[in-house]
A = this chain, B = another copy of it.
Amino acid sequence: EIVEELIAHLQPKLLRGRRVLVTAGPTFEPIDPVRGLTNRSSGKMGFALARAAREAGAEVTLVTGPVHLRAPRGVRRVDVQTAQQMLEAVLAEVEAADVFIAAAAVADWRPAQAAERKLKKDGSGAAPTLAFVENPDILATVAALPRARRGELYCVGFAAESHDLLAHAQAKRARKGVPLLVGNIGPATFGRDDNALLLVDEREAVELPPAPKITLARQLVGEIARRLGLPCEAD
């Protein structure tokens, strides 16, 4: 614990004076007052990134979906439930940011309408069918902002894939229009304390081998700091 505190304190201040906005966790998309759609994200990677950015001297805001984690010391926390709420919170905060790290596992879809009352079994054995609508794409929305296009806001995306990680990460980087995309094998990493990352930028793909998420977060903060000042354009 004391050693960990010391290590944290001794991190190089690579982001001193920078303002970093991080998203973390899953979103929860209501079906009715009690049920909803979510995913296995624990928020640990996003929280580790917020902590690593803070250790590196940045002023950090963390927008998080429902998780059971305490915010790192010195980090401002904004709690949200749905993708729509996360987008609104991010747009409210991002104007002041120099770096945006989208580590949240945002639901791609939400139920087309949430029922005001709890859905009941009707005794027929027939189950409901649920129609979905696409959620806003938070990362792509932010990456399309003028400040991001001008390179004043550096955008980092995450991809959780169950297969073909490199191809999906490269395609996602181009599609979202971000300079740096970080891939991790979702089902294997969700909820765990360690992880392995694949960094994809316009030139190369670099693997960060399995390590505790806080170690990877510090490495990633180093990679981001090194790239700051480059334009936030994918292609």
Q: Residue among A28, A32, A68, A162 with the most chain B CB within 10 A?
A: A162
Q: What residues of chain B lie closer than 8 Å to A36, measured between beta carbons?
A: 37-40
Q: 1/0 per residue A13-50: CB within 8 Å of B?
A: 00000000000000010011111111111000000000
Q: Residue among A34, A105, A130 with the most chain B CB within 10 A?
A: A34
A160 at the binding interface (Cβ < 8 Å): yes
Q: What residues of chain B lie closer than 8 Å to A80, measured between beta carbons?
A: none
Q: A127-B131, A128-B109, A129-B130 are in contact. Are A118 and B34 (CB under 8 A)?
A: no
Q: What residues of chain B lie closer than 8 Å to A34, measured between beta carbons?
A: 39-41, 105, 160, 162, 186-187, 190
Q: What residues of chain B lie closer than 8 Å to A132, measured between beta carbons?
A: 127-130
- Copies of this chain, complex-wide, total 2
Q: Is the CB of B162 within 8 A of A107?
A: no
Interchain CA distance A134-B123 in the complex, whole Å: 10
Q: Is the CB of A125 within 8 A of B134?
A: yes
Q: What residues of chain B lie closer than 8 Å to A117, measured between beta carbons?
A: 162-163
A133 at the binding interface (Cβ < 8 Å): yes
Q: What residues of chain B lie closer than 8 Å to A121, measured between beta carbons?
A: 108, 134
CB proximity to B under 8 Å, residues A104-142: 105, 107-109, 112, 116-119, 121, 125, 127-134
List 8 tightest A-B contacts by C-beta distance, closest first. A127-B132, A68-B68, A33-B187, A33-B162, A118-B162, A130-B130, A35-B39, A34-B39
